[in-house]
Structure 1
C-alpha cells in the first residue's frame, strides 16, 4: 500500500481532477465509486477497480478491511490518503473513507432492440437518472439508452443515487435516439398527461421500450412521433405532473405486475 501525503503529488492531482470535473471523467473514461456500498457492489458483480483509495482513519474499519483484502488479491494498487486529502476527493459527508477508480463501460450498441429497455431524452438531474436506473434494475430491465444531452450516467452523483444498479445494466451513452427508435420492432411507450390510454389498459406482458424525457420539457416532439403508444398515469390529486423518476418506477412495476 502506497501512502500519499502531498497535494502536489501527480497521482493525487489526477484524482482531484477526476473527482471535480465531469469533462475529465468523460475524457479519461474513468469514474469514482465513493463509499463502501458501491465498492462492494462492484466487486460482487465481477468488477476489478483500476485503483483503490482509502482514508487513513478507515484502514482498520470492519467494512473496509475485507474489501482491501480482495483488492490486494486481485492485484489492484491501493493508496492511503490522510483524511484531509481524502475528504477533498469525496462528495459523501460522514461516509466511510473508501473509493474505487474504475473504467466506465462503453458497450457497443445492440444490432436490434428486442427486449424491454429504457430510452432517456435529455434527462438533466443526476438524482432522477440514478433513481430510474435503480428502478429499472429492480424491475429486470437491462438496457438503458441515453441521448448525448442526458447527464453522464457514471458521474458520482448518479452512481450514489443508483446504489449499485449500474453494474446490473447495459448503459449506452450518446445514442442518436431517433435512429434507434426508427428500427425498434417492439412497442414504444411514452407517458403524456394528455393521453387517453392509461398504463393499466395497455398490454405490458411483452417487451416494450419506455421513453422518458427532460424534466421540464418532456420528450422531444420528433421522438414522441416515433412512440407507438402515448399513455398516462391516472392521478386523483390536483398536481400538474409526477416527477419523471416516480413516473418511470410506476411504469416499470406495472409491467412487472402484468407479467406475474
Structure 2
C-alpha cells in the first residue's frame, strides 16, 4: 500500500483543488467523495475509484475495511495523521477520501421521466432533489447551465450516494432540449395561467418536472416552453415550499399514483 505523510504532497494538493473549484472539476473530469458512506455507495453502484485516500486513524475501522476489501492494493493510499486536515470540509478531518472520474452520461434523454433543475443554487437543495428523484424511481437529472455544481462536495454529501443511481446531465440548454422531448413538461409555479393543482393531474404517463431557483422560481423563458404549471395545494398560511420539499412532494405524488 502506498503512503503519504505530508500535507504538501502533490496528490493532496490536487484533491484540494477538486474540493474547492468547480473549474478544476470540469477541467480534470474528476471529483472527490468525502466519507465512508459515499465510498460505499460508489462501490455498490459497481464503479471503480481512481484512488482511495485512507487516513492512518481509520485503519481499524471495520466498516471501512470491509468496503476496501473489494479494491486492489494499488487503489489505496495510506495518509499520515492530520495530513488531510487542511483540505477537507468535513468536521472529521481524518475521514476517508475517494478520487473518482465524474461519470459521463450518454446523450440527453428523449424518453422517460426526468427531473429538470433551472438555476437552483443551493447545494443542499440540489443534493436533496437528487436523493428524492432516485427514491421516487427517476433515473434522469437535467441541470441548466447556471445550477450549482452537481459534483461539488456539498451536493454530493446532500445526495447521500444518489448521484450514482441517476444519469446526470449538466450545463444543459433547456429550451433546445425541451423542443426534442416528446412528453409533458411540468413546472412548479405560483402563476394562475395554465396552472393545475398537483392532485388534479393524471401523472401516470412519463413527464419532465421542472423546479426553479430558490428566490425567483422557474424563469419566464422556461415557463413559456412548458406544457403547464403546477401548484401544490397549501391550505395553511405558508406561501410556498422550499424547492427541494416541493420537488419531493411532486415526485412522490407521481409515484403514489403509479403504485395505486
Q: TM-score interval w.r.t. the shorter chain?
A: over 0.9
Give the distance between the partners of 2:190 and 2:2, measured in 1 at CA: 56
CA distance in 1, matches of 2:126, 2:74: 30
Alignment-derived partner of residue 222 in structure 2: 223
SS at match of 1:89: coil
Distance 1:106 1:131 in 2: 21
- The residue aligned with 1:197 is 196
Return the TM-score normalized by structure 1.
0.94
Instruction: Give matches, 1:79-98, under 5 Å.
Output: 79-94=77-92, 97-98=95-96
CA contact (8 A) 1:189 1:230 kept: yes
User: Does the residue aligned with 2:60 lie in a helix, a strand or coil?
Assistant: coil
Contact kept? 1:198, 1:233, Cα under 8 Å: yes
Partner of 1:213: 212
Describe how 1:143-154 pairs up with structure 2 within 5 A: 143-154=140-151
1:50 touches 1:76 (CA, 8 Å); kept in 2?
Answer: no
Per the normalisation by structure 2, the TM-score is 0.94
Superposed displacement of residue 18, structure 1? 1.7
What secondary structure, in the 3-state scheme, does the structure 1 residue paired with 2:71 have?
Answer: helix
What is the aligned partner in structure 1 of residue 75 from structure 2?
77
Report the CA distance between 1:95 and its aligned residue.
7.2
Alpha-carbon distance in 1 for matches of 2:9, 2:187: 50
Alignment correspondent of 2:235: 236
Whole-Å Cα distance in 2 between the matches of residues 95 and 169 of structure 1?
A: 29
Match of 2:113 in 1: 116
Structure 1 counterpart SS, 2:103:
coil
Match of 2:59 in 1: 59
1:186 is paired with a residue whose SS is: coil
Cα deviation for residue 96 of structure 1 reads: 6.4
Where in structure 1 are there 5+ consecutive unaligned residues? none
Contact 1:144 1:170 (C-alpha < 8 Å) held by counterparts: yes
In the TM superposition, residue 203 of structure 1 has moved relative to its aligned partner by 0.9
Quickly say closer, same or farther: Cα 1:61–1:227, change in 2 above 3 A. Answer: same
* Deviant stretches of 4+, over 4 Å: none
Task: Measure the CA separation in 2 of the matches of 1:184 and 1:14.
Answer: 39
SS at match of 1:173: strand
Partner of 1:14: 14
- The whole-number CA distance in structure 2 between the counterparts of 1:241 and 1:143 is 26
Give the drift of 1:86.
Answer: 1.7
Query: What's the secondary structure of 2:84's corresponding residue?
Result: helix
1:175: Cα distance to partner?
A: 0.7
Q: Compared with structure 1, are the counterparts of its residues 153 and 240 closer, same or farther at alpha carbon in structure 2 (3 Å cutoff)?
A: same
CA–CA separation in structure 2 for the residues paired with 1:50 and 1:115: 32
Q: In angstroms, what is the RMSD of aligned CA positions?
A: 1.5
Q: Partners of 1:68 and 1:34 in 2: how far apart?
A: 15
How far residue 229 of structure 1 moved from its aligned partner, in angstroms, is 1.4
CA distance in 2: counterparts of 1:231 and 1:194, whole angstroms: 9
Deviation at 1:76, TM superposition (A): 4.5
Unaligned runs of 5+ in 2: none
